[in-house]
Structure 1
Amino acid sequence: MTRSETQGIRCLHWFRQDLRLSDNPALLEAAARGSVLPVYILDDENAGDARIGGAGRWWLDKSLSALNEALGGGLRCYRGRAEEILPDIIDRYGIEHVGWNRCYEPWRIARDKGIKAGLKARGISVHSHNGSLLWEPHEVLKADGTLYRVFTPFYRKGCLSARPPRKPLPAPGHIETITPDADDAGFSPDGLTLRADHPWAEQLDPHWQPGEVGARQRLEAFLSSGLSGYKDGRNRPAEAHVSRLSPHLHWGEVSPNQVWSAASHGYEGSDQDHFLSELGWREFSYALLYHEPSLVEKPLQHAFENFPWQEDSGLLKAWQRGQTGIPIVDAGMRELWQTGYMHNRVRMIVGSFLVKNLRLHWHHGRDWFWDTLVDSDLASNSASWQWIAGCGADAAPYFRVFNPVLQGEKFDTDGLYTRRFVPELEALPNKYLFKPWEAPSDVLNKAGLRLGVTYPYPVVDLKQSRNQALQAFQQMKEAPS
């Protein structure tokens, strides 16, 4: 697959969040133009606080290795500022064309604009493509040219009524890669030493298969056994009705166009419609981040800048470790730590508990998820935390406080999910599984459970903390603007 002299011009394809060969418009163009130098740059310096978290680095390590294998070992990896690294590579290899698929994080947009302008000034051909979204954020606007702030009109009117997603593109029939120089500063994916940043990497291995092949297999498995019953089943964490495609989508091992196309052919009804709308929510998050770059830090509803958040490191640590004494919350936080993932319904439950019952700032949840989720995505993570905190676009009202006991009883009826991740409660009857503090002493003894010893008492009273949260919300509303 590798040869130093080829027909056509010498091209550089810059891999970013498009770690696949199929439906990769920038790579397809480069392969059609001539020989290709495939490059990945770990640019932590420009990323700043948005540098890839621990679980993400574990995933990236494996995904890059899979991509390198698919390229026949031709992927060159670099570490540093992309605007400094790319010119050196271009000069070294006599590159005439540079291509990439666009990213939409604010820091990447600013960096990429500067790189594109600099390369064009040198006479280098530069093309960027949309390989990550179904619709470009700058194209999905209301008639007056402003951003949609409510999901349904954004999705139904701004997206679906405007045009259907494009069809997926084929993988290049052949990629003639450029042989790297012996003294090139780049290295194989192993040289990035990404796994060293992740202290719990070994326990993630059994749960995932990063890479384009793993993404395709996950999509096929979901469509064959998970899509039917998705609309209702997706709320039940013990059932296999979630796609678990989010990390594959984030890293671009499968494109949203490929997922949309696969789920649109041979399937119909409310399950299909609901699943496709979840891809729409991903688009909505990216549109919000694109048009509101402050989404990561500042509430979209500015009144929340005056919300009286608490600071309590003990409560935060109990939440992070799954030791709150609230079983469904602890199950979710332990699933996150053990697998790098959390079921979506449970994400809403643990999020509501953090920002409303514990009244800790949503930034704490954002940061913990950013470091521990394999699918941590700046747009989705920021928009989702603002949604659950009640301060974002089309957000859950702040006065909507998830009752974790009722949520557990409704969506984990048999307790299979909770018992899996909180084995201390395994022998507790379903009647008390989600509220062990109400169990009589003889029931606790029979279950081998000692509250405060083998499993904690609740760190807060659910009813009292809910009322305090609502009082704080009312005070914020009444505060002078």
Structure 2
Amino acid sequence: MTDPRLLWFRQDLRLADQAAVAAAASAGPVAAVYVLDDKVAGDWAIGGAQRWWLHHSLAALAKALDKHGVPLILRRGDAVAEVAKVAREVGAVEVHALHHYEPWWQAAEEALAEKVFLVLHQGTRLIPPDQVRTGTGGRYRMFTAFWRALRQQMPPEAPRRAPTKIAGVSKPVASDRLADWDLLPTMPDWSKGFDVWTPGEAGAKRRLDRFVDHVEDYDEARNLPSIEGTSRFSPHLHFGELSPAQVWHRLDGKAGAEPFLRELAWRDFTGNVIDILPDYGKRNGRDAYGGFPWRRGQTADRDFAAWTRGRTGYPIVDAGMRQLWATGWMHNRVRMIAASFLIKHLLLDWRRGERWYWDTLVDADYGNNAVNWQWVAGTGIDSNPFGRIMAPLSQSAKFDAGGYIRAWVPELAGLSDGVIHDPHGAGCAPKEYPAPLIGHVEGRARALAANAKMRG
């Protein structure tokens, strides 16, 4: 009988276009394991919203594997130790997994390779980030140049279907019960609004099928928070329920697809950044900002709390923060506005915002989260200048956010489009809606003064 192989799942919870699954299934009987390791990532252990998604995604993967007679073995603890232990228990001669670019997973892969015969495959990015090189062999630090070089290597390899047959190992292996991991919130259950999502590979496929018909409208519609003009692929891509290659091949060549493919490539770029700068989630890409005069103390903490609760007095910011809390997701344009408001208007360290997004986003991704926050803050290796300050009131009107505000800030639902973006300025804000934490002109002047002080 052929020796067994062990599949190690992480943020790659699918069977289709999954090179580790294909390789292991073609070599003989297979066992599959997922380890919940809350220590390996340190400060980036998965947050509450991600835990909700993980529960449902693992349940979907277990169901898909069970159709082949392959149980999904669940273990909790040190990932390296548990994977090596399961490999011994099933007698696996090889462990197959997709290569990940988060620094903690790269370290875990190196440690595991000392204990077992580890076979790593590609499949979390369009192509491995270190294959996108400058003419002199260096790594790109600016997205535009990275995108041009990546585009020349596209398309990625054609995605493969899920194996039609996967033989399971005959030996039973102990496994935790998913319900015992307590990934779902209970007291209180804050996830009632999460029913807009369908985690798992089947849900990802349906989301892709729907978006294909609307991709020609994407370039304009993505900036309008009152309509569903974005793909909402991000959590499916983060958890690996959908491969980047699957998305590329479904959309490439379709009218209007190029702007979206560029956004898909941004995900590759963020993988490239954390591959060359592993501590990018906590360290400024520009050293000069190490001395920036961020606000601290009780008043700053009070303002931060108001921001997290959607009580800033700026309707579009508040709508975004409330949507985030209710659904685990926020419209991309509004993410930038809310992040800019925290950093520029409130002068609060971008890392505080990064932490909040990390815990509340279902699509919280180390590379995307760190690079996007530093892009807004002006502290990144490729970022907006700090002095470019988004004006929440005019942004709200420009991108027709009235319907979005009514959906998430019910105390403003009765206001007309002419005043809803700035009800305080129009003198018609209801008494239950908070006053602005700071005026836009005042906030902008304070931010520019702080930046000048840092530079001086």
TM-score, scaled to structure 1: 0.91
Residues 380, 310 of structure 1: alpha-carbon distance in 2 compared, 3 angstrom cutoff: same
1:132 corresponds, among 124, 132, 136, to 124
- Cα deviation, 1:311-364, whole Å, max 9, x if unaligned, reads 211000000000001000000000000110000000000000000000000011
Structure 1 position 463 matched with structure 2 position 441: yes
2:286 corresponds, among 288, 296, 301, to 301
Residues 198, 274 of structure 1: alpha-carbon distance in 2 compared, 3 angstrom cutoff: farther
Q: SS in structure 1 opposite 2:257?
A: helix
Structure 1 position 187 matched with structure 2 position 170: no
State whether residues 329 and 346 of structure 1, in contact with CA within 8 Å, keep that contact through their aligned partners in structure 2: yes
Structure 1 position 208 matched with structure 2 position 197: yes
Partner of 1:371: 359
State whether residues 190 and 326 of structure 2, in contact with CA within 8 Å, keep that contact through their aligned partners in structure 1: no
Q: Separation in 1 of the partners of 2:193 and 2:114?
A: 41
- How far apart are 1:190 and its partner, in Å? 2.7
Partner of 1:95: 92
Amino acid at match of 1:219: L
Structure 1 position 14 matched with structure 2 position 8: yes
Q: Separation in 2 of the partners of 1:256 and 1:328?
A: 31
Q: Separation in 1 of the partners of 2:36 and 2:447?
A: 41
- Cα deviation, 1:271-291, whole Å, max 9, x if unaligned, reads 210000000111111100010
Structure 1 position 241 matched with structure 2 position 239: no
Structure 1 position 419 matched with structure 2 position 406: yes
Structure 1 position 115 matched with structure 2 position 112: yes
Residues 198, 246 of structure 1: alpha-carbon distance in 2 compared, 3 angstrom cutoff: farther
Q: SS in structure 2 opposite 1:229?
A: helix
TM-score, scaled to structure 2: 0.96
Deviates more, 1:249-258 or 1:42-51: 42-51
State whether residues 140 and 154 of structure 1, in contact with CA within 8 Å, keep that contact through their aligned partners in structure 2: yes
Amino acid at match of 1:83: V
- How far apart are 1:179 and its partner, in Å? 4.2
Structure 1 position 38 matched with structure 2 position 35: no
Structure 1 position 178 matched with structure 2 position 175: no
- How far apart are 1:173 and its partner, in Å? 1.5
Partner of 1:351: 339
Partner of 2:22: 28
State whether residues 76 and 189 of structure 1, in contact with CA within 8 Å, keep that contact through their aligned partners in structure 2: no
Deviates more, 1:136-145 or 1:9-18: 136-145
Amino acid at match of 1:433: I
- How far apart are 1:206 and its partner, in Å? 1.7
Residues 438, 320 of structure 1: alpha-carbon distance in 2 compared, 3 angstrom cutoff: same
Q: Separation in 2 of the partners of 1:286 and 1:146?
A: 15
Amino acid at match of 1:276: L
Partner of 2:263: 278
State whether residues 65 and 190 of structure 1, in contact with CA within 8 Å, keep that contact through their aligned partners in structure 2: no
Q: Counterparts in 2 of 1:263-342, with a 5 A limit?
A: 263-265=251-253, 267-268=254-255, 271-311=256-296, 312-342=300-330
Q: Separation in 2 of the partners of 1:140 and 1:461?
A: 44
State the identity as a percent.
41
Structure 2, gaps ≥5 residues long: none
Q: Separation in 2 of the partners of 1:178 and 1:51?
A: 31
Partner of 2:50: 56
Q: Counterparts in 2 of 1:214-233, with a 5 A limit?
A: 214-224=203-213, 226-233=214-221
Structure 1, gaps ≥5 residues long: 1-6
Structure 1 position 392 matched with structure 2 position 389: no
Residues 90, 55 of structure 1: alpha-carbon distance in 2 compared, 3 angstrom cutoff: same
Q: Separation in 1 of the partners of 2:336 and 2:59?
A: 33
Partner of 1:434: 421
Q: Separation in 1 of the partners of 2:127 and 2:8?
A: 22
Partner of 1:168: 159
State whether residues 320 and 330 of structure 2, in contact with CA within 8 Å, keep that contact through their aligned partners in structure 1: yes
State whether residues 74 and 179 of structure 1, in contact with CA within 8 Å, keep that contact through their aligned partners in structure 2: no
Q: SS in structure 2 opposite 1:391?
A: coil
Q: SS in structure 2 opposite 1:432?
A: coil
- Cα deviation, 1:105-126, whole Å, max 9, x if unaligned, reads 101101111111322xxxx4x2
Q: Separation in 2 of the partners of 1:198 and 1:15?
A: 29
Q: Separation in 1 of the partners of 2:309 and 2:163?
A: 46
Aligned-pair Cα RMSD in Å: 1.5
Residues 196, 335 of structure 1: alpha-carbon distance in 2 compared, 3 angstrom cutoff: closer
State whether residues 54 and 198 of structure 1, in contact with CA within 8 Å, keep that contact through their aligned partners in structure 2: no
Residues 288, 407 of structure 1: alpha-carbon distance in 2 compared, 3 angstrom cutoff: same
- How far apart are 1:200 and its partner, in Å? 4.3
Residues 207, 417 of structure 1: alpha-carbon distance in 2 compared, 3 angstrom cutoff: same
Q: Counterparts in 2 of 1:468-479, with a 5 A limit?
A: 468-478=446-456
- How far apart are 1:294 and its partner, in Å? 1.8
- How far apart are 1:196 and its partner, in Å? 4.0
Deviates more, 1:198-207 or 1:44-53: 198-207
Residues 348, 299 of structure 1: alpha-carbon distance in 2 compared, 3 angstrom cutoff: same
How many matched pairs?
450
- Cα deviation, 1:44-71, whole Å, max 9, x if unaligned, reads 1222111110000000000000000111
2:101 corresponds, among 104, 125, 131, to 104
